[in-house]
Amino acid sequence: MVRCDAPVATLALAENPNGYVMGGGYQLLASPVPLVKLLAQQSGCFRVVDRAAGLRGTLQEQELRESGVLRKNTTVAQGKGYEAQYTLTPSLTFSEQDAGRGLAGLMGMIPVLRDMAGLIGLAEQVKLKEAQTALLLSDNETTEQVAAATGSARTTDLGVAGIAFGKLGGAAGAGWSNTNEGKVIAAAFLDAHNQLVGQVRALQAKELPPPVPVHAGAQKARGG
């Protein structure tokens, strides 16, 4: 995974308004946003602000405070949230095609393999899995799109094992390593992420809010 030396801005993730082309026959998560959020956090390029479950949790705590359920000096109060200086929107198209017929035909032309009906039958079932991804970064102050990156990954059922978890980095998590299709999609988003980081490094860092307080030992371990 390509990383930044320091964050350039706060970032929120947005669902693609056009949805994601993944088909209904695969055991895939409904949205790649948690995966992209994980990559953005681990890259060190952004400080991610949560506009999904985290925001709902904050609003719920504020409602409980206003209704008198919580203690008076609660730390969850109005006016403490951080703004998102950038918004990152992912897109995804996943497809699967028959790749086995051509492979089986080629194997049938090889004398040594011609009589191995079981092997040829297995080859006929091989699918070509391909994922195309994009990441669009917009400046919330100006609405300008300041960076855009695409990524792709392509493999057959037989080649999915070659996508090592170590190379996927954060993309190996967030539930996308459980299926062959998920691994290909994760690899494609990692590719797009690495392309995006190259553009983000060239952006001038925005004025960031105060960092999250950490213990001195933890700060030293983080390189601070």
Contacts of 107 (CB under 8 A, 6+ apart): 113, 114, 116, 119, 120, 123
Burial letters 199-221, b for 16+ CB under 10 A, else e: ebeebeeeeeeeeeeeeeeeeee
**Res 31: pLDDT:** 87
End-to-end CA distance of the chain: 21
Report pLDDT for 152: 92
User: What does the H/E/C string look like for 134-148?
Assistant: EEEEEECCCCCEEEE
Give the span between the Cα atoms of 150 and 134, in whole angstroms.
4
* Non-local CB neighbours of 167 within 8 Å, separated by 6+ positions: 187, 190
**Domain architecture of the chain: domains with CATH:** 9-49+84-221 (3.40.50)
Put simply, whether the predicted model's pTM sits higher than 0.95 gets the answer no
170-199 pLDDT, tens per residue? 555 556 677 778 888 889 999 999 999 999
* Predicted local distance difference test score (pLDDT) of residue 169: 56
Structure confidence at residue 189 (pLDDT): 93
Q: Report the alpha-carbon distance of residue 18 to residue 118 in Å, rounded.
A: 43
What pLDDT, on a 0 to 100 scale, did the predictor assign at position 159?
52
pLDDT, residue 168, reads: 57
Low-confidence residues of the chain, pLDDT below 50? 99-125, 157-158, 161, 164-165, 220-221, 223-224
Q: Compute the distance between CA of residue 40 and CA of residue 146 in angstroms, rounded to an integer.
A: 16
